[in-house]
Amino acid sequence: MVVPTYNEVGNLDELVQRIQQSCLSSGIDAEVVIVDDNSPDGTGARAEELAKDHDVKVVHRAGKLGLSSAVLEGFAAASSDVLAVMDADLSHPPEKIPEMFSKIQSGEAEIVFGSRYVPGGSVEDWPFHRKLISKGATLFARGLTKVKDPMSGFFMLKRSVLDGEKLDPIGFKIGLEILVKGKYSKVVEVPIHFANRKSGKSKLGTGEYLKYLDHAIQLYEHKRFWLSKYLKFSFIGGIGAIINIAVLWFLVEATGVYYLTAAVASFVVAATSNFVFNRIWTFRSKSEIKSQYARFLVVSVDGLFLNLILLKQLEEGLMPAIGITSDKASLFLIVSQLIAIFIVSIFNFVANSFWTYSADIKSRSKKA
């Protein structure tokens, strides 16, 4: 049982006592690993006291280094094959440990989450804004895991789940990180009642919400590698379209350049901006830039021709075939162009991924 602590001196005795009682009554041989970040309130010293006559191990760290890294250090210090994490403030009921453990022992699951959001689970009279934030954060993680309460800080797992994966301890959500990167096939949730903390104050500040967003986005990139790349690519493409129109307008209106010349110039400017942002953001490329830029321009020009061909096919082939009348023609043109843009974006994306930025894709997919 890994318990990260920062200023939890008022909760420690009851916590250790309840964990041990719960484990004793069900024959579980448990060790409590307290990972304390040099709490000013003397949690570390109190933990050492408890270690004298309980099955408690204490890891002392130099200062407040964060919850997730504390959990990972606790895993390293523990010697068991089954690991668990819980908060020190008695929000998580130690009485649920036997039920969670039995799921792992019976082979029903390799990870068990104590969940507030499955039938039977609950939270204690939370104010509306806390419920909203919690639900919003949980919703944002929907695409990452099917677990209903992946933000729960109360979970248990087989050590083998962690084999071979490098975990990034950013922010509070080490459980979510494990759900996304861990090696397992079965996960179950056990309902818990999340009680208000017994003593002391919460350490989850507003900064943690931003860290969570950053963390969740990185996990999406890890899990949905191609989708996240395509979305970034399309987003940059959308900005490129705005740049294209803005430059075109500027050249024609402010400098009086011939409009077709202006169109070519604005196309090159937009393609260049697309190239730079995709290099930095979408593909995080460090490869040689000149040939990459040339390839990107070739793909962009091909994409432009593909766009024209598709548009012509839709306008001259499809429109009469499905009998669009002339009063709907301008609407049909816009729909056709949107369809063409979508197809061209996929063409450009695939061509750039496997040609322009192929070296970067290869090295990144290997890591993922």
Picking from 196, 151, 209, the residue whose alpha carbon sits closest to that of residue 177 is 151
Q: Does 89 bind Mn ion (CB under 5 A)?
A: yes
| Interactions with ligand GDD, residue window 114-133 (CB under 6 A) | none
Instruction: Report the C-alpha gap between 121 and 55 in whole angstroms.
Output: 30
Instruction: Report the C-alpha gap between 293 and 332 in whole angstroms.
Output: 35
**Are 31 and 78 in contact, with CB atoms under 8 Å apart?**
yes
Strand partners, 155: 85, 113
Q: Does 197 bind Mn ion (CB under 5 A)?
A: yes
Cβ proximity to Mn ion: between 197 and 295 the closer is 197
Instruction: Report the C-alpha gap between 316 and 51 in whole angstroms.
Output: 81
Out of 16, 19, 33, 35, name the contact with ligand GDD by CB under 6 A.
35
Scanning 31-39, 270-278, 292-300, 322-330 for contacts with ligand GDD by CB under 6 A, the matching segment is 31-39
**Are 303 and 347 in contact, with CB atoms under 8 Å apart?**
yes
Nearest approach, Cβ of residue 276 and ligand GDD (Å): 38
- Select the binding partner of residue 303 from Mn ion, ligand GDD, none (C-beta < 5 to 8 A, by kind): none
Nearest approach, Cβ of residue 113 and ligand GDD (Å): 11
Nearest approach, Cβ of residue 151 and ligand GDD (Å): 4
| Interactions with ligand GDD, residue window 57-116 (CB under 6 A) | 64, 66-67, 70, 87-89, 91
Binding residues for ligand GDD, rule CB under 6 A, total: 23
**Are 236 and 281 in contact, with CB atoms under 8 Å apart?**
yes
At 211, which helix (H) or strand (E)? helix 207-223
Scanning 48-56, 72-80, 86-94, 273-281 for contacts with Mn ion by CB under 5 A, the matching segment is 86-94
Q: Does 91 bind Mn ion (CB under 5 A)?
A: yes
Q: Does 37 bind ligand GDD (CB under 6 A)?
A: yes
Which residues neighbour 93 within 8 Å (Cβ) at sequence distance 6 or greater? 114, 192, 193, 195
Between β-strands 111-115 and 2-5, what pairing exists: parallel, antiparallel or unpaired? unpaired
Out of 1, 2, 8, 279, name the contact with ligand GDD by CB under 6 A.
8
C-alpha to C-alpha distances, 29 to 81, 101, 295, nearest whole angstrom: 12, 11, 62
Scanning 134-142, 157-165, 192-200, 305-313 for contacts with Mn ion by CB under 5 A, the matching segment is 192-200
- Would you state the structure tokens that stand for residue 304, as one six-digit string? 């432009």
**Are 157 and 75 in contact, with CB atoms under 8 Å apart?**
no
Site of interaction with Mn ion (CB under 5 A): 87, 89, 91, 197
Site of interaction with ligand GDD (CB under 6 A): 4-6, 8, 35-37, 64, 66-67, 70, 87-89, 91, 134, 151, 153, 172, 197, 202-204
